[in-house]
Amino acid sequence: MSTFFTTNRHGYSVRFSPFNPDQFVVASSQFYGLAGGGTLYFLELDGSGTIVEKRTHHWTDGLFDVTWSESNQEIVVSGSGDGSVQLWNTALSANNGPPQMVYREHKKEIYSVDWSKVPYEQLFISASWDSTVKIWDPIRNHSLSTYIGHTQLVYNAVFAAHIPNTFASVSGDGMLKIWDILCYDLPIASIKAHEGEVLTVDWCKHDSNVLATGASDGLIRVWDLRNFGIPLAELKGNEFAVRKVQFSPHSPSVLASVGYDFTTRIWDFKKSNEALETIKHHSEFTYGLDWNRRRQNQLADCGWDSLVHVFKPDCLADKI
């Protein structure tokens, strides 16, 4: 396991580069995101497995999420507590330099940003505590459309892995909603996914009909759009809220989660409703999680203890 310490910053999000298996970025905040500024750490694994800081960029408010461009390895987008989205171009900005663009439309904190995985869709999405989701073209300084349908703050919105013009969103209202970006008046599907607040959603990378949600009730539920009425699986074991869930890019039924019980858990929903492995290497809320698309079964996580870990779960050691 490789570890990096974000001094005086608390980790909220970590994302591997879609281009280079050794590069990743961490979004962090001062004072647990309650006050102060935020920092993006651009990090890299060297040949010995040591995590090296390559550059940092600072913002005047906490940074809660970050995502890489799918078409330009120099660009990332972050969302912050002041309701703004920042686009950073490392090819045009020196270390600690300002963002290339800043988008200001949301009225409250932005808790989620995601870049479309469909090659011809050069779009990213933002989800906010103002209960809205917005779609952006990075070259325009205003959003393309706004989606209003949740009755409480929106924690997460993610593009479908393989379906064009489609994203999912989850909210404090307990709802999971599926949207066609061309029909922004109403979602194309909606279900009460959990009794508590739904904090995270992700699409399966191998089956475009399958999603997973995680919530404040400590449950992870797997859903199939072809039979949306009942969960395909319900995964139990988290003691507190599930902060993030993400499907593996290397296996159709494996996913990972992090949560407020300080753990990272690995699951296979086709084998069991209990975790294959529970990893306890954080001492505070664990917030960020990402699989490395370009390196088999490698994960990164980060948390409020200022630790960033890159590792391979023991339970996946025999999977090729």
Q: What is the mean pLDDT of residues 1-29?
A: 96
Beta strands, E only, 36-153: 38-45, 51-59, 63-68, 75-80, 84-89, 101-104, 110-115, 124-128, 132-136, 145-148
Q: Which amino acid is at 204?
A: C
Range from 56-70, 84-98, 136-150, 186-200 carrying the lowest mean pLDDT? 84-98
Span 262-315, pLDDT tens digits: 999 999 999 999 999 999 999 999 999 999 999 999 999 999 999 999 999 999
**Beta carbons of 252 and 269 less than 8 angstroms apart:** no
The single residue listed with the structure tokens 């199939």 is 224
Q: What is the mean pLDDT of residues 93-118?
A: 92
What is the residue-averaged pLDDT of the chain? 94
DSSP state of 130: T
The single residue listed with the structure tokens 């949600």 is 213
55 token code pair: 């550059």
172 token code pair: 């404090």
Give 249: exposed, middle or buried? Use CB within 10 Å, 0-12, 13-18, 19+: middle
- Report in angstroms the alpha-carbon separations of 4 from 1, 43, 88, 98, 289: 10, 9, 22, 24, 14
DSSP 3-state assignment of 225? helix
Give 120: exposed, middle or buried? Use CB within 10 Å, 0-12, 13-18, 19+: exposed
Is residue 21 predicted with pLDDT exceeding 90? yes
* Model pLDDT, residue 224: 96
Q: What is the mean pLDDT of residues 63-74?
A: 96
Is residue 29 predicted with pLDDT exceeding 80? yes
Distance from C-alpha of 15 to C-alpha of 23, rounded to nearest angstrom: 9
Q: Which residues is 85 bridged to in the sheet? A: 79, 103
**Beta carbons of 290 and 302 less than 8 angstroms apart:** no
Contacts of 130 (CB under 8 A, 6+ apart): 83, 106, 107, 108, 153
Is residue 319 predicted with pLDDT exceeding 70? no
CATH at 200: 2.130.10.10
* Model pLDDT, residue 96: 80
* Model pLDDT, residue 91: 87
Is residue 163 predicted with pLDDT exceeding 80? yes
CA-derived radius of gyration, the chain: 18
Provide the residue range defining the domain that includes 103. 2-316
Span 197-219, pLDDT tens digits: 999 999 999 999 999 999 999 99
| Highest averaged pLDDT of the listed ranges 26-40, 50-64, 111-125 | 50-64
Q: What is the mean pLDDT of residues 131-150?
A: 95
Q: What is the mean pLDDT of residues 37-46?
A: 96
Is residue 115 predicted with pLDDT exceeding 70? yes
* Model pLDDT, residue 94: 79
The proportion of the chain whose per-residue pLDDT surpasses 90, expressed as a percent, equals: 87
Count of CB atoms situated within 10 Å of the CB of 283: 12
Span 236-251, pLDDT tens digits: 989 999 999 999 999 9
**Beta carbons of 194 and 204 less than 8 angstroms apart:** no
The proportion of the chain whose per-residue pLDDT surpasses 70, expressed as a percent, equals: 99
Q: Which residues is 265 bridged to in the sheet? A: 257, 278
Please state the length of the chain.
Answer: 320
* Model pLDDT, residue 320: 52
Contacts of 169 (CB under 8 A, 6+ apart): 127, 133, 147, 149, 150, 154, 156, 157, 176, 177, 179, 201
Distance from C-alpha of 293 to C-alpha of 119, rounded to nearest angstrom: 16
Q: What is the mean pLDDT of residues 246-265?
A: 97
Q: Can you list the pairs that 46-55 forms with residues at least 24 positions away whose Cβ atoms lie under 8 Å?
A: 46/22, 49/2, 50/2, 51/2, 51/3, 51/4, 51/308, 51/310, 53/4, 54/23, 55/90, 55/95, 55/96
Distance from C-alpha of 40 to C-alpha of 78, rounded to nearest angstrom: 9
Tell me how many domains the chain contains: 1
Q: Which residues is 224 bridged to in the sheet? A: 210
Is residue 184 predicted with pLDDT exceeding 80? no
